Amino acid sequence: MSNYPWTTRINTIQHVFIFLLGALAVGIAATYQPVVSIAAVCLLLLLAVSIHHPERISYAVLLSTAVSVDSLYQGGVFGIEILSLYKLGILALLVPCMLVYGIRLKFSYPVWALVIMLGITFGFSAWLPLLTTSIAVKAFVGLSLPFFFLLIQWKKDVAEKHIRLISLLPIISVVIGLGLQVLGLHSFTDVEFTGAVRVQGANIPPHLAMLSFLGIAVSLIEVKRRPKQAAFYYTVLALNFLILIATGTRGPILALLLMFAVYLFDIARQYLKGKVNYLLPLAGSFLVALGAVALQWNNLKNAPSNGRPIQALTCRDARRHGNIF
């Protein structure tokens, strides 16, 4: 409580006055632009929540990466592409979190590197006809958002929940994707012109693969950091690995090979030292690897041979028959 009651009364009057002005503005806007007024009210409510409970907004931000909004809605809002609006909304919600918790400048180097790259793009690059200013800025915002998230000095318990949530994002995307498939809103799988079937969940295959790669990396680290939660992270690790293989995205799979080799070497070394409890993770790793091969067996049979896919149309053939583009 305040030692000066009159200051409390003034603060109360200010809050009431601001509330009345906001209600008046929304009422006037609703008369002429009802959609804009509803969006403004929702944005104000989200900003208020982000100031009073920034950790809740952080969870929502992470969860939103498990669903590709542009795959659900292709249009625009207020003349802005839905994906651009989503990125700007995430950035706007992170600003109050920065004000509440503060930022760590030592983690700002990736953001500055992206700023320099953006400057090079505008100042020295030869622009292709399809490349526009909005595309460059949208790419910059999208690439820098994860680093803005890392800049914030989250509380320790909030950061621990972030870590657990990141490891679960691929599984959440798959579950939501199955629900969207049932509702007929989004396809759970993507079939390429080669006939390869790729799991995409509520995203597209490359995005889901990126989430799976991050989930695997986080799980491997947390297994060593938190031996008491090893069972949980081993389970999440296995599921994320299977999801990554099911996406059929070669980049993250190749990037994972070295990490997976180090992991197998470590648990094999621990087992040879006499730690019998590492036998289950070691055997489980080989079973998961066999399951991954089984998941991709049909795609492996349709793999390219001598430059042309077997049992599938080439891109040129597909275009000629009008199956794509």
Three-class secondary structure of residue 246 per DSSP: helix
Tell me what pLDDT residue 172 has: 93
CA-CA distance, 71 to 73, in Å (whole number)? Answer: 6
Tell me what pLDDT residue 318 has: 33
Cα–Cα separations (whole angstroms), residue 240 to 17, 63, 84, 303:
52, 16, 28, 23
Query: Do residues 244 and 253 make contact, with C-beta atoms less than 8 angstroms apart?
Result: yes
Q: Could you tell me the pTM of the whole model? A: 0.72
Q: pLDDT tens per residue, the chain (325 residues)?
A: 444 343 344 455 555 555 556 656 656 555 555 555 566 666 666 666 667 777 888 888 899 888 887 777 666 665 567 777 788 778 878 888 888 888 888 888 888 998 898 888 888 877 777 777 777 888 888 888 888 898 888 888 899 999 999 999 999 999 999 988 888 888 888 877 767 778 888 888 888 999 999 999 998 889 888 888 888 988 898 899 889 888 888 888 888 888 888 888 877 787 777 776 777 777 777 777 777 667 666 665 555 544 444 333 333 333 333 333 3
- Retrieve residue 250's tokens: 């070669």
CA-CA distance, 71 to 68, in Å (whole number)? Answer: 6
Give the DSSP H or E segment for 258.
helix 250-272
Tell me what pLDDT residue 309 has: 41
Judged on CB neighbours under 10 Å (0-12, 13-18, 19+), 313 is middle
Give the DSSP H or E segment for 58.
helix 54-64
Tell me what pLDDT residue 78 has: 59
